[in-house]
Amino acid sequence: MRTPIHDFLKSYAARGTLRLHMPGGKGSPYLHDITEISGADVLYESSGIIRESEDCAAALFGAAASCYSCGGSTLAIQAMLAAASAATGRCRIAAGRCSHRSLVSAAVLLGLDIDWIYPDEFPSGAVTPERVEAALTPGTAAVFVTSVDYLGGECDIAGISEVCRRHGVLLLADNAHGAYKVFTGDHPIALGADMTADSAHKTLPALTGAAYVHLADASFREPVKSAMALFGSSSPSYLMLESLDLCNRFIAEEREAALAALNGVSELKKALTAEGIPLRQSDAMRIVIDANALGYTGAEYAELMRKAGAECEMGGGRFAVLLLSVSQRAEDFGRALEIIKSLPRRAPIAPRDIPVIRPERVMPPREAYLSPSETVPVSRAAGRVCSGIQSPCPPCVPIVMPGERISSEAAGIMESYGISVIGTVK
């Protein structure tokens, strides 16, 4: 597998060239930390080594084209939505209600209206093809779904894709947590999505913030690149780009190791179940422990694991989430099993699940966000119109969106979610 970015950076460092250019470290301590110098290509107008590396990624993922992001899936999502809106001339999307806050931020920046598609539970991204179809209007530019979501839930991408094709709308998938699906054959691009945002760093061996936009139609490459230039930094990290370049090599040459890691996750789930550890059904790369059934909140259980020498991806509400990777070491699975087996169990506590609510929409997200606002305690927010985008991270799914009226129920849920103050329209 060619690694043109890595090869260029290695060659440049070896030449000992006097660095009279950014960044200020001048190669110390990061020899490969450069800017867009001659020969290094330009990320948002890639035609050289970056384009060559992106084409390698596209071939590996089965996409018509791929674009690298140094702004994570947040930038990828902004770019997908901008490209979809520009291509259709429409500013309306249908989206799963439990979407990452980056979708809401993009709606504010782009002036999009959102028709929400509600799931059965919070914060599930899983919505059905039937609910997607019911949300479509003649003005819908695209459908936006989250699959995989933070608790490992997945959508029927193939079924939703068929609905979108019938109605002539684009399907965009937030696959930030599912980049590993390049190994499993069920990547959203393979199932009919038009564009996907994949965070390489979540489940593949890439630096934090490194991500892809994968495209089923190469004609979207330039609109996506243009949107990235609009929203992203003009100083992309070559360390991130190199990590994506080297990630291509891993995908091409370490398939056996990746599949072994995937199998390790599966076997760990079986072993935990055999030990009586209650697990929520989830995707192939995470383990979601029902902490309430073991007598703890998710945060308490995560703290137990921390003290035992393991750090969870998330502990909150009812669950503790363990996120694994295709480069996970074989010995990690046995160690995780022993740590979890060693933790004390208590009498189950009643789960405090957050209900799915449907707040009244008063104004578009952009209008609300840009209106004069004031921050108030959530305890006094009932009846006011939300102006901000507030949510704990993770899972970064807002309860109330900008432009929606905050009900007493919503205020109570936000308080239980750990939100104490919120921006509201004056």
pLDDT of residue 124: 92
- Which band of pLDDT confidence, cut at 50, 70 and 90, is reported for residue 262? very high
Is residue 392 predicted with pLDDT exceeding 80?
A: no
Co-location of 249 and 260 in the same domain: no
Co-location of 93 and 181 in the same domain: yes
pLDDT of residue 390: 84
Is residue 393 predicted with pLDDT exceeding 80?
A: no
Co-location of 44 and 136 in the same domain: yes
Co-location of 14 and 32 in the same domain: yes
Looking at the domain assignment, is residue 260 inside a domain?
Answer: yes
Structure tokens at 277: 């550890």
Q: Which of 73, 10, 74, 6 is nearest to 241 (CA)?
A: 6
- Which band of pLDDT confidence, cut at 50, 70 and 90, is reported for residue 354? confident
- Which band of pLDDT confidence, cut at 50, 70 and 90, is reported for residue 250? very high
Task: Find the angle CA(31)-CA(37)-CA(42) to the nearest 5 degrees.
Answer: 110
pLDDT in tens, 21-60: 999 999 999 999 999 999 999 999 999 999 999 999 999 9
Q: What predicted TM-score, i.e. pTM, was given to this entire model? A: 0.96
Compute the radius of gyration of the chain from its Cα atoms.
Answer: 22
Can you tell me the distance from the alpha carbon of 136 to that of 322, in angstroms, rounded to the nearest whole number?
35
Co-location of 30 and 176 in the same domain: yes
Q: Which CATH number covers residue 265?
A: 3.90.1150.150
Co-location of 164 and 79 in the same domain: yes
Task: Find the angle CA(301)-CA(306)-CA(309) to the nearest 5 degrees.
Answer: 130
Is residue 176 predicted with pLDDT exceeding 90?
A: yes
- Which single residue is written with the structure tokens 């994968």? 214
Range of the domain at 155: 4-253
pLDDT of residue 410: 94
Co-location of 381 and 310 in the same domain: no
pLDDT in tens, 55-105: 999 999 999 999 999 999 999 999 999 999 999 999 999 999 999 999 999
Q: Which CATH number covers residue 379?
A: 3.90.100.10
CA torsion 109-115-120-125 (nearest 10°) is -40
Looking at the domain assignment, is residue 359 inside a domain?
Answer: no
Please give the share of the chain, as a percent, with pLDDT higher than 70: 100
Taking residue 48's Cβ as centre, other Cβ atoms within 10 Å add up to 16
In our burial notation (b when 16+ CB lie closer than 10 A, e otherwise), range 51-78 reads: bbbbbbbbebbebebbbbbbbbbbbbbb
Can you tell me the distance from the alpha carbon of 81 to that of 179, in angstroms, rounded to the nearest whole number?
19
Residues 6+ apart with CB under 8 A from 34: 9, 12, 19, 21, 23, 27, 40, 238
Co-location of 56 and 78 in the same domain: yes
Strands 140-146 and 170-174: parallel
For 81, list phi and psi in degrees, rounded to 5.
Answer: -65, -40
Could you say which of 236, 253, 270 is where a domain stops? Answer: 253
pLDDT of residue 245: 98
How many structural domains compose the chain?
3
The mean pLDDT of 303-312, rounded to a whole number, is: 98
- Which band of pLDDT confidence, cut at 50, 70 and 90, is reported for residue 201? very high
Could you say which of 223, 253, 283 is where a domain stops? Answer: 253
